[in-house]
Amino acid sequence: MPKILLIEDDISFCKLLEKFLIKKNYTVATAYSAAEARGIIKNESFDLIITDLRLPDSDGIGLMSEFKKAYPEIPVILMTGYSDVNTAVKAIKNGAADYISKPFNPEEVLLVISNALQNNSVIPENEQKVKHPKKSEELEFVKGISKASKKLAEHIQLVSPTNMSVLIIGESGTGKEIIAKSIHEQSPRKGNNFIAVDCGAIPKELAASEFFGHLKGSFTGAITDKIGYFEAANGGTIFLDEIGNLSYENQIQLLRALQERKIKPVGSNKEIDVDIRIVTATNEDLREAVKKGDFREDLYHRINEFSIHSPSLIDREEDLMVFADFFLEKANEQLNKNIIGFSDEVVSIFQKYRWPGNLRELQNCIKRATLLSQGDFIESTVLPVEFFQIQKQVPNDLSLSENEKEAIIHALSKAKNNKSEAAKMLKITRKTLYNKLKLYDIE
């Protein structure tokens, strides 16, 4: 029976939600403040944490970050009012499993909790710990029709048969792990393991043990021998997601392993030869991190023999409904529904939306809407209220008009001179933006 820690300062609401979850066969412990929650989690183990975004002695995102650092294996769900939904979307990018909007839809609450628990499994230390999303929730590689998608597919096809190290660059939720898996499956290594590792979830003190394994008794808590990710990936591919999160010390350890293709488990004097292909991913600008001294230049060049851009959903607009139809088909299958498609109004809403969570957000949105739909088509009435709230919160979308030059300058300022972000705000391509900058002589 999954055990949930519920953190909510509204006592009556907390009791109500607790009773609801207990009735649905969950074990629940409650805390009315961050301090109380910290005390409880020290003495009990949990499968899931649900916390309100606003607490009297902390904010939910700060508490989430604290718990993710101390207990990386426990997924965290945020509860939020409609006005805070933008913050919740950012929290998902920073590691939250999902968020629930108040007031609650009971079926939606159960779906979010079920997804979070399905996507997370606590594996005993003596078994290989590998990050494999559940098949039902895994984003699959779908060939789009946009120019960006065709270029992506072409690059994957070109680099897959080689043994080159690949760096995948792109925003959260764009399917970087799926690209990595696709490279592996089209390579000569496809018959061996594909090991995916979330570098952001590994405390720096445990990174050596996670990557290279350890011997029983080599440090406090090492109660059995453990095989590391590198040894588990021997003969296959290791995928290091969000590699920019590794500490400088961990970068040195990783570089040595990649250069020598040898690893040494913690507490062992014996080196193990490993034959692996490395694929990495980041949503950061690693070149900028190299300039600042946060990321080793020699490691950057080692992992970046070939780079692939994972396009955001806004950069592949023509693919939006291709993906939407695909996710609807998957949702129908998973939820035993038979929704035919989307109403014209929903298609229009989808096309105007910015999709900050990219493909992952689109998939979640469609799955929830499928669950709630009663007719043959998904209507706007089953889209989350915050979906429309976000639209209202965006102050008059910047668009090119007769005040074109001023709009461009404003967008550049708002995007802190990031040309790609400014182009997105203006709803034009990056190339068009550069032409406009030249036209108006904007530095």
Tell which CATH classification among 2.30.30.60, 3.40.50.300, 3.30.70.2190, 3.10.110.10 matches the domain 135-310: 3.40.50.300
Instruction: Give the C-alpha distances (Å, rounded to integers) separating 167 from 93, 158, 192, 285, 286.
Output: 19, 14, 21, 12, 10
Q: Report the DSSP pairing between strands 272-273 and 262-263.
A: antiparallel
Q: What 3-state class would DSSP assign to 308?
A: strand
Equal fold, 3-118 vs 313-393? no
- The model's pLDDT over 97-142, given as tens digits with 9 standing for 90+, comes to 887 877 677 777 888 898 888 765 433 233 333 333 333 344 566 7
Q: Which residues contact 78 (CB under 8 A, 6 or more apart)?
A: 50, 51, 52, 53, 60, 61, 64, 88, 91, 96, 98, 99, 100
Q: Give the residue, 164 or 17, on which the prediction is more confident.
A: 164
Determine the residue type at 3. Answer: K
d(CA 119, CA 107): 18
Identify the pLDDT of residue 64: 86
> Which residue matches tokens 């209220």?
385
Residue 74 parent element (H or E): none
Which residue in 177, 233, 183 sits closest to 200, CA to CA? 177
Which range (15-19, 177-181, 255-259, 323-327) has the least confidence? Answer: 15-19
- Tell me the backbone φ, ψ of residue 48, rounded to 5 degrees: -160, 145
**Above 80 in pLDDT, residue 405?**
no
Identify the pLDDT of residue 62: 83
H-only helix segments in 125-279: 147-159, 176-185, 207-212, 229-232, 248-260
Identify the pLDDT of residue 132: 38
Q: Give pTM, 2 decimals.
A: 0.60
Q: Indicate the DSSP class of residue 170.
A: E
**Domain boundaries of the chain, sorted by first residue:** 3-118, 135-310, 313-393, 404-439
Which residue in 174, 182, 91 sits closest to 362, CA to CA? 174
> Which residue matches tokens 């899931």?
48
Domain 313-393 has CATH 1.10.8.60: yes
Identify the pLDDT of residue 200: 81
Identify the pLDDT of residue 202: 83
Compute the average pLDDT of residues 228-235.
92
- The model's pLDDT over 288-335, given as tens digits with 9 standing for 90+, comes to 999 999 999 999 999 999 999 999 998 998 999 999 999 999 999 989
Instruction: Give the C-alpha distances (Å, rounded to integers) separating 356 from 93, 152, 168, 250, 393.
Output: 9, 20, 19, 30, 14
d(CA 318, CA 73): 37
Identify the pLDDT of residue 189: 96
The answer to whether 387 touches 372, Cβ cutoff 8 Å, is no
3-118: CATH number = 3.40.50.2300
**Token pair for residue 221?**
């808590």
**Above 60 in pLDDT, residue 83?**
no
- The model's pLDDT over 355-403, given as tens digits with 9 standing for 90+, comes to 888 998 899 999 999 999 999 999 999 987 756 754 444 444 444 544 6
